[in-house]
Chains A and B, each alone.
Chain A
Amino acid sequence: MPIRDLGYRPYEGERLPPSHNMAVLLRHGLRRAWGSWLVKIAAFLGWVPTVVALALLGLRYVMEQRGAQVGALDAGQALHTLTLFQLWPFITMVTLGAGAGVISRDLTHRAFQFYFSKPVTPTQYLVGRTSAVAIWCFFLIWLPSLITVVVLVGTAPAELRLERLGLMLPATLDAALIAAVCATASVGISSLSRSRAFSMSAWLVLLFVPHVLAQIVFAVGDWPWLRLASIPALLSIVGEALYRIEPDSALRWYHALPVLAGVMAGAITLAMNRLRHTQVIS
């Protein structure tokens, strides 16, 4: 049957500008991320540390109410610890499932022949893809922090409530920094190869190997500077500064931030270079 008989008419309405593409790719990326079982596991199990933290806070509150002697609570330290519990297992899982294989997967699926035959630029593609991973990471850290802050405020004496409410700012900044760095670096790594196995392995190596080495060197020789090669350690150092926690070494946030900026810049350059030079060959 001719299509016109089915009611088809050429579209003569408005068409949105190409900048709209980033939002489309972001939405598509969020859905694709949810398709990863690693992301699903992280989204469900990611609440476990929060539940444990809330239980401990509740227990502490009950003990205080009953007149038991408990030490002063360092709310900043508690939030920072919770963030680290989120970062190590769950952000690793999200970046592994949704970030570290994203470009290599599109390469192996030959998806670029669809994307780049539409008016999609490499920049839009990269921003859309990275934002999707970053949003997953951000909420996986920020939401638990938000709930914990609410409980901390609710269980605090009146004179401490405003101070504890103020922790939302460092919590938000910390979540944003972790999300931006981990999403950008993992997506950048994913452009290294058409092989998802390779890019995901490379991301795991980048996360864990320098960190383990740095911790060993610091423990044995009390030399903290190898931590500059560890992304989680750098994020932790900046997090400590945000929560005003006394650092355990000579490394400060102003050492860590430039390195993290360099990691992000390098990852973006790597991915853009790959995308700009990608010529789709069917």
Chain B
Amino acid sequence: MSPVQKPADSDVYVRAVRLTKWYGKVTALSDLSLHLEPGIWGLLGPNGSGKTTFLSLVAGQLKPSLGEVQVAGERPFANPNVLRRIGLCPEADALYDELTGLELVSALAELSGYPRAQARERAAQALDEFGLTSAMERKSGGYSRGMRQRVKLAQAIVHDPDVLLLDEPLTGTDPTSRAVILESVKRRASEGAIVLFSTHVLPEIEALTDRVLLIARGQLVAKGEVHEIRELLEEHPHHVRVECDRPRELAAALMQVAGIVGVHFPGDSAAVFQTRDPDATYAAVCRVAVEGAFDVHSLTSPDASLEALFHYLVERSAHMAGTGSDAAVGSALPSPFAGAAKTSAAAGESSAP
């Protein structure tokens, strides 16, 4: 048996071309095309949107029904050359209860090609990285949910993968563990790995990366940096909330500002402006506040967050599903193959599992 070297990292990318997967009559993923380069990508979407199916396709655990997915130029399904470059932390809570964390991770490291001694050493390091130093010799049947999650993470990184696929990796973890996990993910991405991070905890993905993939109803709804996606959604005005002493007077003074298309008053001390030009609106609010001697308490943009974007895009996807406008919207926007900075938006009519 001649040993083989780990492939170079420089050629790592994930590419999907019209990737489609269905289970019987249920379409889990439909016509998804994208190109991912190294870095952290937040994979967002409601339950049943196709996130896990997408990760499983990239991990080579599912065979596409149509289209193809490539990792570093090769199809991952049943392809050992690619699989040794992929680390998967699955969502399902599944470990052998009779094995210790160290035994399980060592065995899986060996299956990635490490000699026995190195596999054990690396497994210990990986478990140590996730704070399981004192528990690694205990049988995993006695682990808490958070500990089991960290064992799954350890086996995902134990072989230094170029592509790290994390399906809800923060489930069941405490704040300290979350910080450790996020630190590890950041470090691996900084070393040139592609990290696909699926989660429902939006503030944490926001702290981790500003590059997101949003999947809804089995289709890629958006891809790119959060603010760029936000800017593309021009038909959906930004909201600027101003809390001050005389909100109605402030609104009257601002209604002539270009870009502002509406205003409403959620209370006696706040006005929420709808604008297509948030920068001009911020400047105008400041100018008018000074000129009119308004007592401004706060100036915020409630829908600039990832969470707001997430909800908006998912609602938009649901609204457009089956309207026949999907193709038009998808083609009018930049191609997802144009790179990480580009964004796309589309809505699907297929149903999720």
Q: Give the B-binding residues of A (Cβ under 8 A).
A: 2-4, 6-8, 10-21, 24-25, 28, 32, 35, 109-122, 279-282
Contact = CB atoms under 8 A, between A and B. Distances in A.
A7 B126 CA distance: 11
B187 A10 contact: no
A117 B78 contact: no
Contact of A118 (B3, B52, B84): B84
A21 B96 CA distance: 19
Contacts of B113: 15-18, 20, 119
A279 B52 CA distance: 13
A35 B98 contact: yes
Contact of A13 (B88, B95, B118, B125): B118
B94 A110 contact: yes
Contacts of B23: 281
A16 B3 contact: yes
A214 B296 CA distance: 95
A53 B191 CA distance: 66
Given A15-B84, A117-B83, 11 more contacts: A8-B125, A10-B191, A11-B114, A15-B6, A17-B2, A19-B1, A114-B90, A117-B88, A117-B90, A118-B108, A281-B56
Interface string B46-63: 000000100010011111
Given A116-B61, A117-B86, A282-B52, A24 B92 contact: no
B187 A282 contact: no
Contact of B94 (A15, A24, A111): A111
Nearest to B83: A119
Nearest to B103: A31
B114 A110 contact: no
A201 B122 CA distance: 41
Interface residues of B, number: 50
Interface in B21-59: 23, 52, 56, 59
Given A15-B113, A110-B94, A117 B59 contact: yes
Contacts of A8: 125, 129
A205 B211 CA distance: 57
A113 B56 CA distance: 9
8 contacts: A8-B129, A15-B113, A20-B113, A32-B98, A109-B96, A113-B92, A117-B90, A279-B56
A279 B63 contact: yes
B105 to A, nearest CB: 10
A255 B62 CA distance: 43
B111 A115 contact: yes
Contacts of B326: none
A11 B118 contact: yes
A119 B84 contact: yes
A25 B2 CA distance: 19
A113 B115 contact: no
Nearest to B23: A281
A120 B107 CA distance: 12
A110 B94 CA distance: 6
Contacts of B2: 17
A-B complex: 7 closest residue pairs judged by Cβ atoms: A119-B80, A15-B113, A14-B3, A110-B94, A280-B61, A117-B88, A118-B111
B112 interface: yes
Nearest to A35: B98
B187 A14 contact: no
B128 interface: yes
B5 interface: yes
B4 A17 contact: yes
A32 B98 CA distance: 8
B167 interface: yes
B183 interface: yes
B68 interface: no
B114 A15 contact: yes
A109 B152 CA distance: 14
A57 B308 CA distance: 85
Contacts of A280: 56, 61-62
Contacts of B81: 119
A118 B61 contact: no
Nearest to B77: A279
Contacts of A120: 80, 83, 111
B110 A109 contact: no
Contact of B128 (A6, A15, A16, A19): A6
Interface string B1-13: 1111110000000
B3 A17 contact: yes
A119 B112 contact: yes
Contacts of B52: 282
Given A17-B1, A282-B56, A113 B94 contact: yes
B144 interface: no
Contacts of A4: 187
B8 to A, nearest CB: 11
A117 B128 CA distance: 22
Nearest to B1: A17
A229 to B, nearest CB: 36
A180 B187 CA distance: 48
A282 to B, nearest CB: 4
Contacts of A119: 80-81, 83-84, 111-113
Contacts of A25: 111
B187 A2 contact: yes
Contacts of B191: 10
A255 to B, nearest CB: 39
B155 interface: yes
B325 interface: no
Interface string B69-82: 00000000010110
A140 to B, nearest CB: 22
Contacts of A2: 183, 187
